[in-house]
Amino acid sequence: MDIKKIEFQQHGDSRGMLVVAEYQKEIPFTVKRIYYIYGADSETRRGFHSHKNLQQIYIAIHGSCKVTLTDGKTTETVCLDDAASGLYIGHNVWREIYDFSDDAVLLVLASEPYSEDDYIRTYDQFIQTQTENI
């Protein structure tokens, strides 16, 4: 499955923390869009889609949440709770995001502008596409 934990550059001192993610170092794609999710809670479940081409990096810059990911064969659950690391998610990975802490802010870096055509929004269609890709 095309996912990877990425450690960012940390420059913390007595004045606070400063975290850096740079193109071609920690970020393997050109960032064409960012968005962030907050105001979710422990009951919220989001995601429930995969992308045909999009690459993303999820960063819990505050608080925490969980992401369950599958490529149809392997399934993994990752807890995002560290502002100094991110989760790279390649294309063709189904994701579900849940267990948000009340203070969670989930920042997402994306390789392309928003396109609804790039989404696969039903699990049945995702599995069908994965089978066709083999």
Residue 37 Cβ vs ligand TYD, minimum distance, rounded to whole Å: 6
112: CB partners within 8 A, 6+ apart? 32, 33, 53, 54, 118
Residue 9 Cβ vs ligand TYD, minimum distance, rounded to whole Å: 26
Nearer to ligand TYD, 115 or 128 (CB): 115
Nearer to ligand TYD, 25 or 32 (CB): 32
Residue 97 Cβ vs ligand TYD, minimum distance, rounded to whole Å: 7
49, 51, 62, 91: which is the annotated catalytic residue?
49
Residue 76 to residue 29: CA distance in whole angstroms: 23
Return the number of other C-beta atoms located less than 10 Å from residue 23's C-beta: 10
66 is a site residue for ligand TYD (CB under 6 A): no
- H or E element, residue 107: strand 105-110
- H or E element, residue 124: helix 123-133
Residue 108 Cβ vs ligand TYD, minimum distance, rounded to whole Å: 7
* Residue 124: both structure tokens together: 């049945």
- The interface mask with ligand TYD, positions 10-49, x = CB under 6 A, is -----------------------x-x-x--------xx-x
**Catalytic (active site) residue 62:** no
- In order of 10, 109, 113, 118, 132, the CA distances from 35 in angstroms are 22, 7, 11, 16, 31
114 is a site residue for ligand TYD (CB under 6 A): yes
Task: Report the interface residues with ligand TYD, using CB under 6 A.
Answer: 33, 35, 37, 46-47, 49, 114
Q: Mind telling me the catalytic residues?
A: 49
